[in-house]
Amino acid sequence: MKANSKILQRVDMLREKINYHIYRYHVLDDPEIPDAEYDRLMIELRQLEQQYPDLVISNSPTQRIGATPLSAFSQVRHEQPMLSLGNAFDDEEVVNFDRRIRERLHTDHVEYVAEAKIDGLAISLLYENGELMRAATRGDGMTGEDVTHNVRTIDAIPLTLRGSGYPKRLEVRGEVFMSRAGFARLNAHQQKKDEKLFANPRNAAAGSLRQLDPKITAQRPLSFYCYGVGVAEQGVLPKGHYQVVQALRDWGFPVQKEMRLLKDIHACLAFYKQVLAKRDALAHDIDGVVYKVNNLEQQRALGYISREPRWAIAHKFPAQEELTKVSAIDIQVGRTGALTPVARLEPVQVGGVTVTNATLHNESEVLRKDVRVGDIVIVRRAGDVIPEVVSVVLSQRPQKTALFVMPDCCPVCNSKVIKSETVSRCSGGLICLAQRKEGFKHFASRQAMDIEGFGEKLIEQLIDNDQVKTVADLYYIKREVLIGLDRMAEKSADNVLAALEKSKQTTLPRFLFALGVREVGVATARALANHFGSIDKVMNADFDALIKVPDVGPIVANHVMDFFSDERNQKIIQQLIDAGLTWPDIEVNTDSGHFPLAGNTYVLTGTLMTMTRDEAKQQLQALGAKVSGSVSAKTTAVIAGDKAGSKLTKAEKLGIEVLDESGLVELLGSHSL
């Protein structure tokens, strides 16, 4: 069918709109419409193009994925070599870099641009008349590989430039990378499909870009930031690096938020400290910062030495991956009996902190990585993720190492270990001292019964001396018993008793959470309490009633039933109530009572100390609040943990309320827990 002019106009309008929303999303980081609306525009454009194939153009936003996989990559010779950067590891080397520059330029004063050094892969993008013609990897700096078909699938990279004034031939350079969240999602997906896992976001980005089939690349969460220009013909560019990058932004390229124009090298050193402090809170890995002379005339005068520019330097951060030796693999027994292998490591500095342990998650993980005692391993610590063993350096494996085996009996209580595909569990239940201790710690913890001063040491002594068997026994402890314990004076014994007494006035969600039913976290406990209103109703609920509760699926429903049908647990609950634990029952079916934070939107940023961001999110959502990823005028409050970054700045700019972690805890606590 031939398209009439109305159809033509509609297709043009859709392409323009879609490109505009891609720009809002990837460049301005300020989407104007919800994803679903964007999807509708794409669907409409796709339908029209299917109906009128004559209207398809290669740079239409629907044409990001090419039709056929390649059989090999072809080589691209860079018209201007892609250089690397010299490194500085301390302030002194940076100051010397600045001194050399000022001496060569015979000037006292040099302006710098400071940027984050993104840990990804360098890419060259060639545009002719504003259309993306070719994308190439850096390769050895002189010759790279043609990865156009893959790069076209990255939404953050424009196929057509926006605005005007760009040179007719323009080569834009920058970094393709994967966010930490994208990397975690990709690896989880790979694991599910039993496919190869990537060691870190950088490797994942590299692996994704070197796919012969662009359909695979299209499914990978790749991003891009531009940081400079190579070839520029038939047109003029601004005279400073900073201004060039601002122009690139106007033409549709994402620019990192960390980039600053600074008056001298001292400001650069201060910048280094600021970025290092917020490194863990960033969405992606960075391995340092880069300082570049801003004035392009001065850059040309300085030139290059052995493939490195004299006008730029990378100031490196402490590495996020290091080598160390596995001295032992211990087994930890958790509250629910799950056995977790933990690698004990020779102490090593990773990303600025000393690492001595790394979780190995479970048996299949240890076997997949084949970690053995005596091995040299790569340890990684990035973002707020706990340290991980990435892989073993097999070439350095000593002779006579033994394959890891999960014990058949619990290392603490010797009960039989029951193994499933992913978890091995001690069958000892409360016989197992480890499970008992963890259960007590959980029971006394801040979000559960909140028994102040009831720490690990005290719990261990009470259990080891056999003075308490179940958590109910805590409320029957005699003052003399406490005073008889190590490092327990009369005064502290009285404090403990007072804390126990105080904890008796509690709430139903806290009590349900404290019982430690498998997979019943704070949010589920709250949902159960809100739904049923009283402990009796929760205890008597059958499967059908349980799965009606928001947040409760078949697995959790079964755990809840198993727990409450166990007579030992029923007895403990009765003893607790007899000891004087009380809470107000909850009136069910009143909407306001269920969702006290309904209508409020929160943004979480930075690292929280007492819970993960995910836990905080779940708890806020359980109270009816929305949790959003970006700050806008509609945000009720921003919750800023440690090392909060740009979201905090934006909140302050917009005059939005900011809560710190204690503010969050208070907010959650004041609503029903």
**Looking at the annotation, which residues are catalytic?**
117
CB of 228 to ligand IVH, least distance (A): 6
Cβ burial, residue 236 (10 Å; 0-12/13-18/19+) = exposed
Q: Does 285 bind ligand IVH (CB under 6 A)?
A: no
Residue closer to ligand IVH, measured from CB, 163 or 303: 303
Is residue 83 at the binding interface for ligand IVH, with CB under 6 A as the rule?
yes
Number of helices followed by number of strands (H, E) in the chain:
25, 24
Q: How far is the CB of 30 from ligand IVH (least distance, A)?
A: 22
Among 14, 114, 118, 170, binds ligand IVH (CB under 6 A): 118
Amino acid occupying residue 268: C
**Given the complex with ligand IVH, which of 245 and 468 has the nearer CB atom?**
245
Whole-number minimum distance, CB 123 to ligand IVH, in Å? 8
Among 31, 139, 309, 318, interactor with ligand IVH by CB under 6 A: 309
CB 323 within 8 A of CB 377: yes
Instruction: Count Cβ atoms below 10 Å from residue 399 Cβ, excluding itself.
Output: 5
Residue 434: DSSP 8-state? H
Q: Yes or no: say if 161 and 22 are a contact pair by the CB < 8 Å rule.
A: no
Q: Which stretch in 79-87, 204-212, 350-358, 436-444 sits in contact with ligand IVH by CB under 6 A? A: 79-87
255 binds ligand IVH (CB under 6 A): no
The residue type at 134:
R
Q: Report residue 312 as tokens.
A: 């730029």
| Span interacting with ligand IVH, options 212-220, 308-316, 399-407, 447-455, rule CB under 6 A | 308-316
Residue 284 sits in the site that holds ligand IVH (CB under 6 A): no
- DSSP-derived 3-state class of residue 117: strand
Q: Which residue in 98, 145, 175, 280 binds ligand IVH (CB under 6 A)?
A: 175
By CB under 6 A, name the one of 49, 98, 115, 375 that touches ligand IVH.
115
**Least distance in angstroms from the C-beta of 607 to ligand IVH:** 24
User: Minimum CB separation from ligand IVH for residue 260, in Å?
Assistant: 12
* 117 makes contact with ligand IVH (CB under 6 A): yes
Q: Does 227 bind ligand IVH (CB under 6 A)?
A: yes
How far is Cα 38 from Cα 62, in angstroms, rounded to an integer? Answer: 12
Q: What is the CA angle 647-664-474, rounded to 5?
A: 145
224 near ligand IVH, rule: CB under 6 A? no
Q: Looking at 54-120, which runs of residues are DSSP E strands?
A: 75-77, 86-88, 112-118
In order of 172, 242, 248, 425, 644, the CA distances from 226 in angstroms are: 7, 12, 8, 49, 24
Four-CA torsion 104, 110, 115, 117, nearest 10 degrees:
20
Q: Does 205 bind ligand IVH (CB under 6 A)?
A: no
Please report how close the Cβ of residue 78 comes to ligand IVH at its closest, in angstroms: 12
Segment interacting with ligand IVH (CB under 6 A) among 14-22, 113-121, 351-359, 464-472: 113-121
List the structure tokens of 381.
């610590």
Size of the site for ligand IVH (CB under 6 A): 15
**Number of residue whose CB is nearest ligand IVH:** 122
SS3 470: coil
Of 369, 341, 346, the C-alpha closest to 356 is: 346
Contact flag: residue 138 with ligand IVH (CB under 6 A): yes
3-state secondary structure of 218: helix
| Residues engaged in binding ligand IVH (CB under 6 A) | 83-85, 115, 117-118, 122, 138, 175, 227-228, 290, 309, 312, 314
